[in-house]
Each structure stands twice: as C-alpha cells, then as structure tokens.
Amino acid sequence: MSDPFETDVLIVGAGPGGCAAALSLAKHGVKTLLVDKATFPRDKVCGDALSGKVMRVLDRLAPDVGVALRADARQFPSWGVTFTAPSGRSLRVPFSRNTGTGDAPGAIMARLDLDQLLLDKVRATLGIAVITGTALNRFERTNAGWRVTNEQRSIEINCRLVIAADGANSYFARHVAGLEMDPQHHCAGVRAYFNGVTDLDQQGFIELIFLKELLPGYLWIFPLPNGRANVGLGLRSDVVRKRRTDLKATMKRLIAEHPQLRHRFANARMEGPIQGLGLPLASKRRALSGKGFLLVGDAGHLIDPFTGEGISHAMISGMHAGDVAAEWLNGNAHLADHDIRVWKRLGKELAISTRLQQLANHPWLFNLVVNKAIKNPALADTISSMFNDLDMRAQLKKPAFYLRLLFGGKGQG
C-alpha cells in the first residue's frame, strides 16, 4: 500500500452530484479528494434528460460548462414535455412561453458525454484531486473522522468528512448510513438507445407516455441528436414484484405491438442491449446527514417519484453538501443543515410529485386533465406555468382542482 491520502473531505462518486459537491467545495477553497470505482468515460443507465434546474446549477458552479454544454453538438435542446394519457391523447407542455427563442430551458444529453464534461471541469479545478477505477468499501470511524480503504487495501484515505454521491447502489448509503431499499419507494426501470424512431419532437419535447398497462409507471421517449432516442420505461418495484413483470420483455412487446408505438418503431434499430436501472425515490423522506457524512443524489434517495428526474436533484444536493461541508469545517454549521437546505429547496416539489405518483393509479384522472387542457388553452397555459410555480403545481394534488374540471367554475383555467 502506498502512503495514505490525507484530505478534509472525501467525495465518493464522480457523477453529477459528486462533481457538483467538489466544485462547490473548491469555491470555498476546501481541498477535496474525489474517488469513483469506474474508469471514465463510462456510461450510466439513465433517461439523459437535463431540466432547467441542471442548467441553473451549472450557471452557478461552472458557467463555462453551461456555455459549453449548450453549444455541444451531442446535446439536444429541450423546450418542454408531452404527456400522453392512457386514452392516447397528448398534451404538449412547454417549459417556456418563448419556445424556440434564445437558450432552451433544458437539454437531453447521454450520460456518457455529460459526466465526462463535468469530470473534465473537476480535473481542471484547483484543489480537487481525482482518483478513478478504485472502489471504496471499508469505512472506519476514527477520532479525527474516517479511515477509508478497499478490500484489496491498495489505498488508504484519512478524512474528516465523507460525502457519499455513489448512486442508487451506494455502498456507503446501505452499509454505513443504513438506508434500506423499500420497494414502495423504489422504481425499477429499463432503457435502450434507438435509431430511426419516427415522429421525434423537433423542439426536444420529452415524451412521457402513460399506458394503462404500465400505470403507475410510464414509458418515455427522449430525442437525441442525429435521429437517436433514449427509450425506456419505469414501474414501482413493489408493483413489479406483485405483477411479476419482466420489464425488458414488456418494453420489447410494447414497442412492437402497442397501437400507440408500433408504427413509430417499425423501422427503428436498437443500439446495444436493453439495460436495467434502479431508482430510489424521494416519496419517503430519508436523513441526508449523520455523524461525519452527507448523502447526495441517488445515494440519498432523491429521485422524483413522478417524473424520475434525478440529475438535477443530485446536483442541487451536491451543491448544498459542498456549502455545508465548508461551513462545518470552519465551525459555522451543523451537518444536519444539509437536510434542512435540501428539503427546503426540494421538499415541496417532491411532496407534490409523490401525490401525483399516487394519482397515476387512476387513468380517468389523466384522461380528464389532458382532454380538458386540449380544449381549453387557458388550462393548458396554467399547466405549463406549473413547471415553474410550485404553488400552482400544488393545485394538482387537491380534489377541488378535479371537481372544477368536471363541473366548471372559477379557477378552471
């Protein structure tokens, strides 16, 4: 074994959450060691959608990366989302009132490319050391903090604080922080890349298709440059177990046979295999801090339970982890402040999404909202505004909202 590494903060995981934490710490002048078990560039099974929240975090932590990403030919600008109800009717919901003007609010970019872009920025940032191709799975508390090694004991790291950002299968979250996988608050998913899917949206609207046989889950189609698409589906893990669903077989069957999909995939070619992913959902609030550690992103079970969005939540929680860690090292914060800040930023949004996920068991509600919005431009505009206004979005979890849709009356639009 070589000489031990000494650092104030060890970040485990070099995905978007870990990179955001490292960049945040660097802004505070804190030297950091970032370690990942993978060798980059590496693929990550994901939907690849980057919301406006991702772009805003980049603009704060690494503006040059935001500029580079928007100009990168490997990303597809995204201006909105299309919801397809179980009835088959679709509602286009723009992210902006100025669709097509200026920079798009979001983007779609393969994680192979996004993560490398972020890691390149981290490597170029003063004060951040990076080690890849090294798994860490032995965490021992010491008087000064932590002694961290691996099974081969080929590396030793002594640090005061661990930030775990090592994803949905986080060793640290499971075996040290004690976060268990709860099937009612976990989603199983599959994803593949395709060429030749027809009718992809030219303005990068991502598609969430709520097929009756998949509820409370959905199938997605996200357009990428050069006629490619990220296609997948997700379903809550307890439902998968109850129905004994083979998600890969289900996906193949749906795109080959379903009336809403088969014509779009008739001449499509799948690139590589269908791959599986696990999504620990934020429908159950978990502690994100403990004695000597902070959890970030998927490791903290922060995935949106309705949309499956995880990249932005990883980066937001990573940014807050960096801020709290720097203040804690200087004696100006408690580690529990990480929980307070993350839940203050994301808690309301995730509570609404949890309610919407529960409502997804009722196909008639989707059909009702989509049908009414198609006929009522004011209502469609209201739903669009809900993406940027949480108080408006909260109306979706109130029975009165649906009663007004059914019977009319003030506030319908």
* pLDDT value of residue 361: 77
Check if CATH label 3.50.50.60 holds for domain 5-76+105-181+283-352: yes
Distances in whole angstroms, Cα of residue 385 to Cα of each of 87, 115, 397: 24, 30, 16
* pLDDT value of residue 369: 75
Could you tell me if 212 and 84 are in contact, meaning their C-beta atoms sit under 8 angstroms apart?
no
170: closest CA among 337, 69, 37? 37
Domains of the chain by residue range:
5-76+105-181+283-352, 183-280, 360-407
Longest dimension (CA), the chain: 73
* pLDDT value of residue 410: 44
20: closest CA among 34, 39, 31? 34
Which segments in the chain show pLDDT lower than 50?
410-413
Equal fold, 5-76+105-181+283-352 vs 183-280? no
Tell me, what DSSP letter sits at residue 100? Answer: T
The whole-angstrom separation of Cα 265 and Cα 275 is 18
* pLDDT value of residue 74: 95
* pLDDT value of residue 364: 77
Right CATH for 183-280 from 3.40.50.300, 3.90.1150.10, 3.30.9.10, 3.30.1780.10: 3.30.9.10
Could you tell me if 51 and 312 are in contact, meaning their C-beta atoms sit under 8 angstroms apart?
yes
Type and span of the H or E element at 371? helix 363-375
* DSSP string of 80-101, one letter each residue: EEEEE-TTS-EEEEES-TTTTS
Could you tell me if 353 and 363 are in contact, meaning their C-beta atoms sit under 8 angstroms apart?
no
* pLDDT value of residue 412: 43
Q: Is 82 helix (H, G, I), strand (E, B) or coil?
A: strand
Could you tell me if 191 and 271 are in contact, meaning their C-beta atoms sit under 8 angstroms apart?
no
- Alpha helices for 169-224 (secondary structure H): 171-175
Q: Is 229 helix (H, G, I), strand (E, B) or coil?
A: strand
